[in-house]
Amino acid sequence: MSDSFEQIQAARRARMQAGLARRYAADRRFRLLGLSAIVFSALVLAFLLVSMTSNGIAGFQRAELRLTVPLKGTVLIDPSRLAQADPLGGLESAGLPMAVDGAADQAFGAGGAGLLGNSAWRDLGQAIIDKPAMLDQPEATVSLPASDDLASAMRGGGEPALQATAKRLMNEGKLVRAFDWGFLVRSDATSPQAVGIWGALKGSMMTMLVTLLLAFPVGVLSALYLEEYAPRNRWTDLIEISINNLAAVPSIIFGLLGLAVFLGLFPNWRSAPLIGGMTLALMTMPVIVISGRNAIKAVPPSIRDAALAMGASPIQVVFHHVLPLALPGILTGTIIGMARALGETAPLLMIGMRAFVASAPSSFVAPSSVLPVQIFLWSDEIDRGFIERTSAAIVVLLVFLLLMNGLAIYLRNRFEKRW
């Protein structure tokens, strides 16, 4: 024994003191590392959202030409014709396209008609159909979509000559980029100047409706069964394993199932919202079951005891007490599952939802597009106009998703009970 206990202790203290600063520094570094990880994630999200919205804002606009079209005395049509079938056809034979082209040549110089979009006159035609009194006026000043080439020349692309024309017209105030309401009411088209999102949006809503109607009842009922009634046996285990695995199976596999089974059974309903909804329902159902079971589990057993001791039957216990109390939790899970289904693309590609559909679907078995697939299809186009339109479509999709997630978070905070 060379050192006394006190000496050893003092030496250890000193060593500990010396190491302390280093250990605190390590702690701070570690903490900083964590902070930078989370900040990085936030920055990526911010960058993603900002770049999508800034592009998307441009996507809600289009290049328009202002011109004055002579009407009274030029477009000769019996106003009652406008109330009949195919009023645009009536206006076409009454010479509206020629009137528009003539006005364009006059306003923008020789070849002016070529600067207008392919069927620009239809916009004016639709306006006249909505307000036939316009035909009694000598002329109307309107903004009509420019051609794709002129639109890209406006952005500084394409032939130099056309760029010069675009610059001249912009200086004269005849060529402007204007907010395009039509984007929200038109459907897919071949020209970025003429496309709209409504067809895909309606298709998405119809698909989601089918998904909800199928997945919600089945999901809730099976959650109730598994949580409240299922006996502990091999069948129940099998059901549970199936659900847990289905929740983690890649979505594209559900697409293969839809292709092989649903399209095999109903080959005529390719790319229909009904088939898309059925496929997504299979994918969403396990999500609803899992979140539903958690919500049901959170209902305290004393409530069940109370009801049972009153002489309620097991079914009454569940439908009078457990289900109403678990419902907010179930709904939250359902909305999150539906939001996921709304953004899902791959399985829908498998069942043929990638066709060019130029009008909004009229029924659940009519060919249709959906928002995410529309985004995918437009993203493949080369035209610069489509890049902006794609971002605009993404903005629409994200707005819907944010609304749904916001609703889910609200429900969770509003009704979440701590027992």
Partner 1 sequence: MNAPAPAAAPAAVFPDPVAEAKISAKNVSVFYGTKRAIDDVSIDIPRSYVTAFIGPSGCGKSTFLRSLNRMNDTIPGARVEGEILLDGEDIYRSKMDVVQLRARVGMVFQKPNPFPKSIYDNIAYGPRIHGVTGSKSELDGIVETSLQRAGLWDEVKDRLSDSGTALSGGQQQRLCIARAIAVDPEVILMDEPCSALDPIATARIEELIDELRGRYAIVIVTHSMQQAARVSQRTAFFHIGKIVEYGTTSDIFTNPREERTKDYITGRYG
Partner 2 sequence: MSPAVLLLLAFGLGLVGWLAARSRAWAFRRAAPGGRIHSLPNFHAWYVALWIAVPALLFAFAWNAISPGLITQSVLADPAASVLPAFGFERDSMLSEARAVATGSAAAVFNTEAQGLVEPFRAAILRYEAIGLIVTVLIAFAGGAFSFLRLTPDFTARTRVERAVMNLLLFASLVAILTTLGIVASLVFETARFFSMVSPIDFLFGTHWAPDPMSSGAVDGKQFGAIPLFWGTIYIGAIIAMIVAIPLGLMSAIYLTQYASNGVRQVMKPLLEILAGVPTVVYGYFAALTVAPAVRDAAQAIGIASASTESAVAAGLVMGVMIIPFVSSMADDSIAAVPQAMRDGSLAMGATKAETIRKVLVPAALPGIVAGVMLAISRAIGETMIVVMAAGASANLTANPFQSMTTVTFQIVAMLTGEGSFDHPATLSAFALGMVLFLVTLTLNFIALRVVKRYREAYE
Q: Which of residues 359-418 bind partner 1 (CB under 8 A)?
A: 417
Tokens of 72: 């009274």
Asked if 221 and 292 touch (Cβ cutoff 8 Å), the reply is no
Residue list 278-307, contact with partner 1 (CB under 8 A):
300, 302-307
Which of these ranges, 93-101, 131-139, 316-324, 366-374, lies near partner 1 under the rule CB under 8 A? 316-324
Select from 194, 372, 388, 392 the one that contacts partner 2 (CB under 8 A): 372
**Does residue 63 belong to the site contacting partner 1 (CB under 8 A)?**
no
* H-state helical runs in 317-367: 323-342, 346-350
Going across the sheet that includes 139-145, the strands are: 139-145, 61-70, 175-179
Considering the complex, state which of residue 298 and residue 365 has its C-beta at the smaller distance from partner 1: 298
Choose which of 14, 50, 402, 403 interacts with partner 2 (CB under 8 A): 402
Q: Which is nearer to partner 1, 105 or 228 (CB)?
A: 228
- Subset of 188-217 contacting partner 2 (CB under 8 A): 217
**Least distance to partner 2, CB of residue 248, Å:** 4
* 248 touches partner 2 (CB under 8 A): yes
According to CB under 8 A, which residues from 208 to 237 bind partner 1? 232
Of 37-45, 253-261, 313-321, 358-366, which segment contacts partner 1 by CB under 8 A? 313-321
Binding test (CB under 8 A) with partner 1, winner from 311, 380, 382, 414: 311
Using CB under 8 A as the binding rule, whether residue 50 contacts partner 2 is answered as no
Q: Are 355 and 367 in contact (CB under 8 A)?
A: yes
- Binding residues for partner 1, how many (CB under 8 A)? 19
Residue whose entry in the numeric block shows the structure tokens 């060919």: 367
**Phi, psi dihedrals of residue 347, rounded to the nearest 5°:** -65, -30
57 belongs to the binding site for partner 2 (CB under 8 A): no
CA 236 vs CA 214, 225, 227, 231, 405: distances in Å: 22, 10, 10, 7, 32
Strand, helix or coil at 325? Answer: helix
Terminus-to-terminus CA distance in the chain, angstroms?
Answer: 63
Among 100-108, 218-226, 268-276, 319-327, the segment contacting partner 1 (CB under 8 A): 319-327
String of contacts with partner 2 for each residue 21-40, x by CB under 8 A:
--xx-xx-xxx-xxxxxx-x
Q: Quick one: what does residue 14 bind among partner 2, partner 1, none, with the CB cut-off 5 to 8 Å set by partner type?
A: none
**Selected binder of partner 2 within 11, 14, 48, 184 (CB under 8 A):** 48
CA distance linking residue 252 with residue 310, whole number of Å: 49
- The span from the CA of 190 to the CA of 419, in Å, is 57
Q: Is residue 320 near partner 1 by the rule CB under 8 A?
A: yes
Check residue 407 for interaction with partner 2 (CB under 8 A): no
Structure tokens at 25: 């520094």
CB 109 to partner 2: min, Å: 37
Considering only residues 283 to 302 of the shown chain, the ones binding partner 2 according to CB under 8 A are: 285-286, 289
How far is 77 from 313, CA to CA, in rounded Å?
74
In terms of C-beta distances under 8 Å and separation of at least 24 residues, what long-range contacts does 180-188 make, across chains too?
180/60, 180/61, 180/62, 182/123, 183/59, 183/60, 183/62, 183/389, 183/392, 184/396, 187/357, 187/358, 187/359, 187/360, 187/369, 188/356, 188/357, 188/358, 188/369, 188/374, 188/377
| Interaction residues for partner 2, span 303-362 (CB under 8 A) | 313-315, 336, 339-340, 342-346, 349-350, 354
Q: Does 89 bind partner 2 (CB under 8 A)?
A: no
78 vs 416, beta carbon nearer partner 2: 416
Which residues are near partner 1 by CB under 8 A?
232, 300, 302-313, 316, 320-321, 325, 417
